[in-house]
């Protein structure tokens, strides 16, 4: 909350208005949150990173230790 964006309760117009006014009043906050959101996106959601994490999971599962654990389950 407040690092990469804000969450507001569903259908709570007052809370949404409050957060929007806060952003409108603070160019530094908008810039900082935008920068952090971009960094999070690049780290967690870019295709190359997602593929790397998925491949790591496959390697773990298919390793001799992982296969043995699957067979025991």
The model's pLDDT over 7-32, given as tens digits with 9 standing for 90+, comes to: 999 999 999 999 999 999 999 999 99
For the record, the structure tokens of 64 come out as: 């001799």
The model's pLDDT over 40-67, given as tens digits with 9 standing for 90+, comes to: 988 888 888 788 888 888 888 888 776 6
- Collect all residues with Cβ–Cβ distance below 8 Å to 9 and sequence separation of at least 6: 15
Residue 6: closest CA among 71, 14, 16 = 16
pTM for the full model? Answer: 0.57
Question: Residue 73 pLDDT more than 70?
Answer: no
Q: What is the predicted pLDDT for the residue at 42?
A: 87
């Amino acid at each position: 909350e407040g690092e990469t964006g804000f969450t507001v309760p569903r259908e709570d117009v007052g809370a949404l208005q409050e957060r929007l006014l806060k952003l409108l009043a603070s160019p530094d906050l908008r810039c900082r949150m935008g920068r952090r959101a971009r960094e999070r996106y690049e780290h967690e959601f870019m295709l190359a990173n997602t593929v790397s994490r998925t491949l790591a999971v496959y390697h773990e599962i298919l390793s001799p230790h992982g296969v043995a654990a699957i067979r025991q389950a």
